[in-house]
Amino acid sequence: MNTHLSVAVIIPAYNSFSTIEHSLDTLSKQEYPVHQIIVVDSSPNDQVEGIVTGKFPEVAFFHSKKRLLPHAARNAGAQKTSSDLLVFTDPDIYARPNWITNLVEAYRQHGGVIIGSVTNHSNSWLEWGIHFGKFDPFLPGAGIRPLGFCATANMLCSRSDFERMGGFEGDEMLGDLLISWKFVENHIPIIFAPSALVEHHHTQSYPVFLHERFLRGMDFGRLRHDQFHWTKLRTIWHLLITISGARLLGLMVREGKNSLKAKLFFKFLLTFPVSFTGQAFWLFGETSAFVRVLTR
């Protein structure tokens, strides 16, 4: 892979006016020449459009009158480019100057899907707790290694692989999980490259964070049951394991290990109550999904 690989960065936006300017500013300073930056916005007003078109005329901006969920917006953006590589991120992500360089270098070495690391933008106690609760598998640290799932906050794949998978499931909030399963089924490796680092700017309140964790947990429980055609007995088993507290313990141990690799263990301990309740609400959502499946 010695030839130049063209890159398109695709960003879904919805009422993202508080963060998108800084996000695009960091993208404009990338060492690697980016072929296209595409913003697909479905906000009910023109605030995002004013920022993007007024301050970043080089960015391709598309507005949908219909509300698009994030993965539907990503699909729309992918359809508007012929670049070799697609990079997916969010409007509240701030990239280091070598971000694209490191993603592409990892792709040249390993192929497949490249997932970069995600750290927290702020030093806020609450935001660090939220970050551990949502992104601990993607904390920077340790070496490049295989991973079993994707995160569209920091993801690169070839346009051909993306199209072969049929894109994201646009009507699902966990579309990155679903495409992860497709990649695995089709023997396309998912590689974690910690050097491809971005910062996430968390703007959620604590109640909104917990509500989101509950909803995504419900989605995860439902999708996992349906994807792998669980029997009633297997669903009951997962329900019992979940309510026993064993899975919550396992998630917190995982967070601790990942924070150690990232040299953030002290922050993890300080913010433990936030991430702990976030994981508990996720599992509460899963439990609700299992109960619904069993009683439908």
Look up residue 118 and give its two tokens. 């995600």
Q: pTM for the whole thing?
A: 0.96
With 50 as the cut, is the pLDDT of residue 1 above it?
no
Q: In the predicted model, what is the mean pLDDT of the chain?
A: 97
Residues 198-224, mean pLDDT to the nearest whole number: 98
Do 271 and 203 meet the contact criterion of CB atoms below 8 Å apart? no
Query: What is the model's pLDDT at position 158?
Result: 98
Query: What is the model's pLDDT at position 3?
Result: 81
Query: What is the model's pLDDT at position 142?
Result: 85
Residues 96-114, mean pLDDT to the nearest whole number: 98
Is residue 185 located within the same domain as residue 212? no
Is residue 248 located within the same domain as residue 161? no
| Band of residue 216 on the pLDDT scale cut at 50, 70, 90 | very high
Is residue 266 located within the same domain as residue 289? yes
With 90 as the cut, is the pLDDT of residue 10 above it?
yes
Query: 173 lies in a domain?
Result: yes
With 90 as the cut, is the pLDDT of residue 56 above it?
yes
Query: 112 lies in a domain?
Result: yes
Is residue 170 located within the same domain as residue 33? yes
Is residue 282 located within the same domain as residue 157? no
Query: 183 lies in a domain?
Result: yes
Number of domains in the chain: 2
CA distances from 197 to 58, 192, 209 (A): 24, 11, 23
Any idea what DSSP says for residue 1?
-
| Band of residue 259 on the pLDDT scale cut at 50, 70, 90 | very high
> Burial level of 204, CB count in 10 A (0-12/13-18/19+)?
middle
C-alpha–C-alpha distance, residues 202 and 141, integer Å: 21
Other CB atoms within 10 A of residue 180 CB: 22
Is residue 223 located within the same domain as residue 271? yes
Is residue 21 located within the same domain as residue 137? yes
The CATH number of residue 137's host domain is: 3.90.550.10
Is residue 176 located within the same domain as residue 42? yes
Look at residues 138, 171, 200 and tell me which one is the last residue of a structural domain: 200
Is residue 191 located within the same domain as residue 220? no
Range of the domain at 162: 7-200
Query: What is the model's pLDDT at position 280?
Result: 98
Is residue 159 located within the same domain as residue 177? yes
| Band of residue 296 on the pLDDT scale cut at 50, 70, 90 | confident
With 90 as the cut, is the pLDDT of residue 285 above it?
yes
Residues 36-58, mean pLDDT to the nearest whole number: 97
Q: Percent of the chain beyond pLDDT 90?
A: 98
Query: 1 lies in a domain?
Result: no
- For 74, the 3-state DSSP assignment is helix
C-alpha–C-alpha distance, residues 92 and 259, integer Å: 22
Tell me which residue of 117, 195, 158 sits closest to 8, measured CA to CA: 158
Query: What is the model's pLDDT at position 249?
Result: 98
Q: What is the pLDDT of residues 110-135, one digit of tens each?
A: 999 999 999 999 999 999 999 999 99
Residues in contact with 260: Cβ distance below 8 Å, sequence separation at least 6, in sequence order = 141
Query: 139 lies in a domain?
Result: yes
With 60 as the cut, is the pLDDT of residue 240 above it?
yes
Query: What is the model's pLDDT at position 2?
Result: 56
Instruction: For residue 20, report the phi and psi dihedrals to the nearest 5 degrees.
Output: -70, -30
| Band of residue 258 on the pLDDT scale cut at 50, 70, 90 | very high
Query: 2 lies in a domain?
Result: no
With 60 as the cut, is the pLDDT of residue 227 above it?
yes
Look at residues 177, 200, 223 and tell me which one is the last residue of a structural domain: 200
Residues in contact with 232: Cβ distance below 8 Å, sequence separation at least 6, in sequence order = 294
Do 20 and 37 meet the contact criterion of CB atoms below 8 Å apart? no
Is residue 196 located within the same domain as residue 249? no
Is residue 192 located within the same domain as residue 45? yes
With 80 as the cut, is the pLDDT of residue 179 above it?
yes
Look at residues 153, 168, 200 and tell me which one is the last residue of a structural domain: 200
With 60 as the cut, is the pLDDT of residue 186 above it?
yes
Residues 206-216, mean pLDDT to the nearest whole number: 98
Query: 142 lies in a domain?
Result: yes
